[in-house]
Amino acid sequence: MDERGASGGIPRRMFLATGLAGAAAIVLASCTFDQPSPSPSPTASPTPATPSPSAVPRPTNMRRSAWGTDPYSRGSFSFAEFGSTEQMSTRLATPIDGRLVFAGEATSSLAPGTLQGARRSGLRAAADIAEIAEPGERIAVIGAGLAGLTAARELADQGFEVVVIEARDRIGGRVQSIVDDAFGTPVELGSWLVADDEGLVEALAAASVDTTAFLGSPAVVRSDGTPVEPSPAGAEALQRAHVWSQAIPHDVSVATALLQSGEVPASESPGDDGVSPAGWLRHAIASGLEPLTGAAPTVVSAQRWDPAPLLEPFEAGLDTSTTSLLPTAPISDLLDQLAEGLDIVLMSGVTQIAHDETRVSLRLDTGESLTVDRVVVTLPLGVLKTDQVRFQPALPRPYQLAISQLGMGVVDVVWLAFEEPFWRADVTADADTDDADGVGIPPSMLSVVGAFPTVARWIDVGAATATGEAALVGIIAAAQATRLEQLSDQDFLTAVLADLEPFATGGG
């Protein structure tokens, strides 16, 4: 099955060139967030310093993810690393010797890094197997995520003998749903927003997972809490650098494209809104590019990553209509439905995949072995980049190159529940953002400009669903996600709550 025949949108997703110096390079270095800003060493004092009181209350509940350190994912989703090509994803999706077929979001050339991309890849892999296999053959599916269970369900329904092998103690892969009444909506530690993709929405609905429109108006404040009008200046600079990159014969990183196209502002002088053009560029990178790719602009492809989605809200007048949907039930319900009746082996990681002209042999970390006719491999790209699984014979060179060149980003989420929504401003009766009953809806996407935030963007769950719960979802991306994954829950919470200070001290 060619995923180009599937319905839905076509989303597209930077090493800094040496020898570039001067003010522009200094400004861009501050945009990449490869390292958090260093803290000064404390000066010895005879009396302990008294910490400043915080205006941010302690949450009543917290849930967090750590996909980068998860040994079964080693990242959140794939992205277009500079130097990679769309053909690499297509190559990775091509069957090997009629015995091995790869699936998973990284093999989707049209929707990598998304739920719909994972689902389509599972459908495509099942169709590839069905085309070359004999009726009744035994098929192993490695991985019980959305791609794996979609493929397994299709193959089982066509009469093949299917066994699903999963290293975790649960199904779902990078879909991890938690039912917690504190948040008023299912807690999703993996993919959360659902694209308005007909096939995915229908599959969710069939599993009684309905979706509702995401109400996504933005609110931007400076680090002192002063609200400012969102500006497209940073996104426009990224867009011009992207257009510039299309005219050169070789790919470069977004960072290099910004520098060489002259789109990095040479001055930090603030504009009328108190924010410099460089500040808006940093904001577009930190709250846009990095959450969408899970990577810094120094490694993301300038030619393949299109900033157009960052400009769409401005072109739409910053209203509340978006193409994203919120699930009203756990996304894992879809996985449970797909898994019903399948032979699934949990807590059994595959360590070797060996194939010849007639069969495929799998070795598990439990010491057991399994022989099947063909195999669908849905291991995340982050795992394929390691030596956790050995292939005998080794994968053909084009497949190795694709795995090496395609990037694996890190994006984590933190869900926080509070007693009161302290961050919300009063909404007047004549507010532009009204729900169906004419009741004002507060902005639901919160970010800070002119600073170096730990959390790329906050989403007000109650505002986004118009249900009113005092709950926030923080999106943490790239280097910040990697850094925070190493912290204890207490230190992690301290770090993310500090990012909420501007929303507690600025009067909304």
Q: pLDDT tens digits for 353-387?
A: 999 999 999 999 999 999 999 999 999 999 999 99
Q: Is the pLDDT of residue 45 over 60?
A: no
Output the pLDDT for position 324.
83
282, containing H or E segment: helix 277-284
pLDDT single digits (tens) 73-90: 999 999 999 999 999 999
Residues 6+ apart with CB under 8 A from 47: none
pLDDT single digits (tens) 177-222: 998 888 888 899 998 888 889 999 999 999 999 998 888 789 999 9
Three-state SS at 64: strand
- Rounded CA-CA distance 217/130 in Å is 45
* Domain spanning 85-175+331-398: CATH superfamily: FAD/NAD(P)-binding domain (3.50.50.60)
Q: How confident is the model at residue 506 (pLDDT cuts 50, 70, 90)?
A: low
Output the pLDDT for position 46.
41
Lookup: tokens for 166: 């999963």
Q: Average model confidence (pLDDT) for the chain? A: 87
Q: How confident is the model at residue 106 (pLDDT cuts 50, 70, 90)?
A: very high
Q: Is the pLDDT of residue 440 over 60?
A: no
58, containing H or E segment: none
Output the pLDDT for position 166.
98
Q: Are strands 445-449 and 407-409 parallel, antiparallel or unpaired?
A: unpaired
Residue type, 169: D
Residues composing the chain: 508
pLDDT single digits (tens) 384-418: 999 999 999 999 999 999 999 999 999 999 999 99
Q: Is the pLDDT of residue 118 over 80?
A: yes
For range 282-307, the mean pLDDT:
97
Angle between the 146-157 and 332-339 helix axes, to the nearest 10 degrees? 30
For range 50-57, the mean pLDDT:
69
Output the pLDDT for position 104.
98
Residues 6+ apart with CB under 8 A from 311: 232, 235, 236, 239
Could you tell me if 162 and 155 are in contact, meaning their C-beta atoms sit under 8 angstroms apart? yes
Q: Is the pLDDT of residue 11 over 60?
A: no
pLDDT over 90 percentage in the chain: 73
For range 283-310, the mean pLDDT:
97
- Rounded CA-CA distance 324/11 in Å is 12
pLDDT over 70 percentage in the chain: 84
| Alpha-carbon 411 to chain mean position | 5
Q: What are phi and psi of 83, to 5 degrees?
A: 100, -15
Residue type, 49: A
Output the pLDDT for position 39.
40
3-state secondary structure 390-405: EEECCCCHHHHHHHHH
- Rounded CA-CA distance 288/2 in Å is 30
Q: What is the pTM of this model?
A: 0.88
- Rounded CA-CA distance 75/113 in Å is 11
pLDDT single digits (tens) 60-76: 999 999 999 999 999 99
Output the pLDDT for position 468.
87
Output the pLDDT for position 255.
98
Domain extents in the chain: 54-65+213-327+409-505, 85-175+331-398
Q: What are phi and psi of 409, to 5 degrees?
A: -90, 165
- Rounded CA-CA distance 65/414 in Å is 7
Lowest mean pLDDT of 23-32, 259-268, 380-389, name the range.
23-32
Give CA torsion, residues 145, 150, 152, 156, to 10 deg: 150
Residues 6+ apart with CB under 8 A from 181: none
- Rounded CA-CA distance 201/228 in Å is 36
Instruction: Give the fold, CATH level 3, of 54-65+213-327+409-505.
Output: Polyamine Oxidase; Chain A, domain 2 (3.90.660)
- Rounded CA-CA distance 413/416 in Å is 10
The dihedral sign for the CA sequence 493, 499, 502, 507: negative
Q: How confident is the model at residue 261 (pLDDT cuts 50, 70, 90)?
A: very high
DSSP annotation of 184 reads: S
Output the pLDDT for position 384.
98
